[in-house]
Amino acid sequence: MTAGKSYSLKGKRVWVAGHKGMVGSAIVRRLASEDCTILTADRATADLRNQDQVTAFIRDSKPQLVFLAAAKVGGILANATYPADFLFDNLAIQNNVIDAAYRNGVEKLVFLGSSCIYPKLAPQPIREDALLTGPLEPTNEWYAIAKIAGLKLCESYRKQYGCDYVSAMPTNLYGPGDNFNLETSHVAAALLVKAVQARESGASRLDVWGSGKPLREFMHVDDCADALVYVAKNYSEDLHINVGSGQEVSIAELARIMLDVTGAKAELVFDASKPDGTPRKLMDSSRLAALGWRPRIGLREGMAQTLVWYLANAAKARH
């Protein structure tokens, strides 16, 4: 595969939209070792759902590269509970940022999507060309439709205006800065919190939503941030690119890893009243590998590192 033209970050003004989120904050950490100026905007400066505020921020701060990591995100229950927010807020954020970027001469933009853009029953591992070949998983179709619109918006600005705007689709992520709220979080953060609580309380059971059978591919957010910077530098094609780790486990296996990592002694109890979601979403990330990028952080090692971060940071905030 041809890598397309390469893009240097040297001396560039780089806006990380969504710098307070798990992915955005990891991109900021990663960019610290690049010779570039990092720009951020908190919500008081620019509510990304507001077109005028986004336009003013981009016009005044003059970024040359934008990482669009800002989004309304959440786990399987949050997606089902807030479908309007997941669709409307995400459409608004990406429309505002991508269009204002174009109108103010932003040279390069990396839009972040998600592996949930693919059909529920896509052939595994999922290649980029599986997009729009079948029905979506109902538990996250609102978020998926927003993200599909976002990647198509980038593609359309490439075609119509010649913008070097690309889209990357990360797999399920975890790590420092994750959302550890049990109602709205993704599974990795939720099971980490539950295992810590079981260890602290000596509880004999740990509740796992659904059957425990769905398979998920997990990637540490620092690997993801490294891949996104690599994509910014080395990828320039119309088609979006998968960003996966190849590390796939069942939810039950993930729960057992959490028990091991935390030292909790609980028994896993599966709650069939909660949804399983899509049975499997392992991405084929061979196009990214062909560009020369590899993940570095193993799942168990990454979870242990996240536990240390959680105990030093988020756990304190809960008490």
Contact footprint for ligand GFB (CB under 6 A): 75-76, 79, 114-116, 140, 143, 172, 185-187, 190-191, 208-210, 214, 216, 251, 274-277
**Residue 49 φ then ψ, to 5°:** -80, -5
Q: In whole angstroms, what is the distance from residue 317 CA to residue 212 CA?
A: 29
Is 143 annotated in the active site? yes
Beta bridge partners of 37: 13
Burial class (CB in 10 A: 0-12, 13-18, 19+), 316: exposed
Distances (CA, A) of 152 to 143, 145, 155, 262: 14, 10, 5, 42
Exposure of 319 in the CB half-sphere (CA atoms within 13 A): 9
Contact 114, 149 (CB under 8 A): no
**Least Å distance between CB 23 and ligand GFB?**
11
Q: Which of 102, 118, 143, 174 is catalytic?
A: 143
Element (H, E) at 37: strand 37-39
Contact 25, 19 (CB under 8 A): yes
Instruction: Name which of 191, 195, 245 is nearest 216 in CA terms.
Output: 245
Closer of 63 and 244 to ligand GFB (Cβ): 244
Q: Which residue is nearest to ligand GFB (CB)?
A: 75
Contact 212, 275 (CB under 8 A): no
**Least Å distance between CB 236 and ligand GFB?**
25
Closer of 157 and 180 to ligand GFB (Cβ): 180
Two structure tokens written together for 53: 């505020």
Closer of 63 and 170 to ligand GFB (Cβ): 170
Two structure tokens written together for 241: 């690119």
Closer of 65 and 71 to ligand GFB (Cβ): 71
**Least Å distance between CB 240 and ligand GFB?**
14
Burial class (CB in 10 A: 0-12, 13-18, 19+), 200: exposed
Residues with catalytic roles: 143
